[in-house]
Amino acid sequence: MTIMNVDDSSTMRRIVTMSLAPSGHQVVEAENGADALAKLKASPADAVVLDINMPVMNGLELLKAMRADPALKRIPVVMLTTQGEEETRNEAIGLGANGFLAKPFQKEELLAVLKKVAGI
């Protein structure tokens, strides 16, 4: 399965990739919402792991743009959150986020939430 990994932190992108690649997933990285949107339009992924706070286009803006695009609206999205983002989390639920995972997360937790929301 192909998973889009969107985070402005190269460290976090690498952590997510290292968590998913050993399970056989192909991971495509993007460093912000705009970068991810362009890559998704070129080649849709099976699921998206999305950070919230990012420059250029943040996670909520990307989520909104995806849900407005007929080609991308059904892609499951797992939001990566940190403590103190409850309001943002509620906003993400309203925009159609499928799952949440609080940082720091265990590899198994990421795989479990992806399996739950995307069946992969």
Partner 1 sequence: MPLVIIAIAAALGIGFWLGRLSFGRAVSSLTAELSALEGRARLRDEEAKAAGSRAEASEARLAELRLSLDGVETGLRELAALHGQLYARAPLHDRLLDLVAKKSEAAAFALMDEVSAISSRLSATLAEANGFQRKLEADGSVGEIVADARAAAGGEMKSAEELLKSSKEIVAATRRMRELVEGSMGMLKDIEDVSERSRLIAFNLAVEAARIGRHGLGIKVIVNELSHINDKIIDFSKTAAARLAENRDLGVRIADEVERGIADVAARIHEGSAASERALERLIAGAEGMGRLVSSLSSSFAEARDGVDAMLVSLQFQDITRQQLETVRWSLAEAAERQRAALGDEGLRRAAGEAPEEFKRMLYAKAKVQDEKALIMEGAR
Where along the sequence are the contacts to partner 1 (CB under 8 A)? 9, 11-12, 14-15, 18-19, 22, 53, 82, 103-108
Q: Give the relative orientation of helices 59-68 and 86-95 as an angle to the nearest 10 degrees.
A: 10
Q: Which of 8, 32, 5, 42 is nearest to 21 (CA)?
A: 5
Least distance in Å: CB of 71 to partner 1? 32
Q: What is the DSSP letter of 96?
A: T
Least distance in Å: CB of 56 to partner 1? 16
Q: Which is nearer to partner 1, 65 or 113 (CB)?
A: 113
Separation of alpha carbons 5 and 79, rounded Å = 10
C-alpha torsion sign, points 28, 32, 37, 39: negative
Least distance in Å: CB of 55 to partner 1? 12
Q: Which is nearer to partner 1, 12 or 28 (CB)?
A: 12
Q: Which is nearer to partner 1, 75 or 80 (CB)?
A: 80
Q: Which is nearer to partner 1, 12 or 117 (CB)?
A: 12
Least distance in Å: CB of 11 to partner 1? 4
Q: Which of 70, 75, 68 is nearest to 6 (CA)?
A: 75
